[in-house]
Amino acid sequence: MATQFHEGRARLQERIAGLTKRLDAMAPVNRALNLGRLPVIAARILRALDEAGLIGTGIEVVGTNALFAYERLAGVQIAGAHLATADVDLLFDARRSLRLLAPEVSATGVVGLLRKVDRSFEVLGRNGFRAVNRDGYLVDLIMPAMKDRMAKPPRSRIGSEATDLEAVEIEGLGWLVNSPKAVATVLDARGYPLTMVVPDPRAFALHKLWLAERQDRDPLKRQRDRAQADLVAGLVTSRLPHLHFDDPALTALPRALREQATLLTAARRDAASGTPRLEPDW
């Protein structure tokens, strides 16, 4: 038995070494083809979270960085202006069991993983939900706002130490937590792959539409929200035709919000039915 174990381990190590060399060989090719899109710092953070067993089990990526997954699913490249961001938003689902985490991760949580990626990460403020590194890159831990304020507050930290990030409650995130998930393998700016788990693109588009219509939101953010809502809805209708906004799987979103999908799809149809350009974009 001992001999079989050591022989099996040796074969596995040889296979992993071969795959590692293959990834190293392909990374420059991916860069040359401009396939690597996700910023390196975001990719390293997400890999650390994934290796700790958190991606897809307690954490998913929301906000602008989710667009990297949607463009991969749709087989397109989104214009850089839509992708510009200096932070990553991590949506924490406190309902998930985290009992199988390694003891070190259970203790230090997200901030411990961040410091493995970059030692300069520091939590902003006491019981802060945001960490920043020396380059100003931000990591936010967010969670849905409680519906019943009289109920027992949900867990807001992944780690047990008081120095870990404490998720901040934000209205509307419950729709994303309860919506279907999309999984995509994306490439970072150096050409290396990683797995991203993000909200269903239809839920993302509708949530962004809701944000864009909030009068208490910063006007510049509202404009960006609407642009991203239109963009992702356009990807769904033109590149992901198997996804429909009237799908029963989206019932986690309010009916009134789902009915507003016509605002997004109608705009897309109007743009597509316009007079075609007869001259190249010289």
Q: Helices 219-239 and 66-74, interaxial angle, to 10°?
A: 20
pLDDT, tens digit (0-9, with 9 covering 90-100), for 52-88: 999 999 999 999 999 999 999 999 999 888 898 999 9
Give the list of residues 6+ apart from residue 239 with CB closer than 8 angstroms, or none: 73, 74, 75, 76
Q: Would you state the pLDDT for residue 280?
A: 59
- For the residues of 58-94, what is the DSSP string, one character each? TEEEESTTHHHHHHHHHT----HHHH--SEEEEEE-T
Averaged pLDDT, 180-209: 96
In this structure, what are the phi and psi dihedrals at residue 95, rounded to the nearest 5 degrees?
Answer: -75, -20
Averaged pLDDT, 120-144: 96
Confidence of residue 264 (pLDDT cuts 50, 70, 90): confident
Confidence of residue 178 (pLDDT cuts 50, 70, 90): very high
Report which of residues 126 and 147 the model is more confident about.
126
Q: Please give the Cα distance from 52 to 105 (Å, whole number).
A: 7
Q: Would you state the pLDDT for residue 267?
A: 56
DSSP 217: S
Q: Would you state the pLDDT for residue 1?
A: 67
Task: Among 124-128, 141-145, 186-190, 208-212, name the one with the lowest average pLDDT.
Answer: 124-128
Confidence of residue 3 (pLDDT cuts 50, 70, 90): confident
Using the predicted structure, report yes or no on whether residue 273 has a pLDDT greater than 60.
no
DSSP 250: G
Confidence of residue 253 (pLDDT cuts 50, 70, 90): very high
Using the predicted structure, report yes or no on whether residue 270 has a pLDDT greater than 80.
no
Confidence of residue 38 (pLDDT cuts 50, 70, 90): very high
Report which of residues 8 and 6 the model is more confident about.
8
Confidence of residue 215 (pLDDT cuts 50, 70, 90): very high
| Pair of tokens at residue 81 | 């202006």
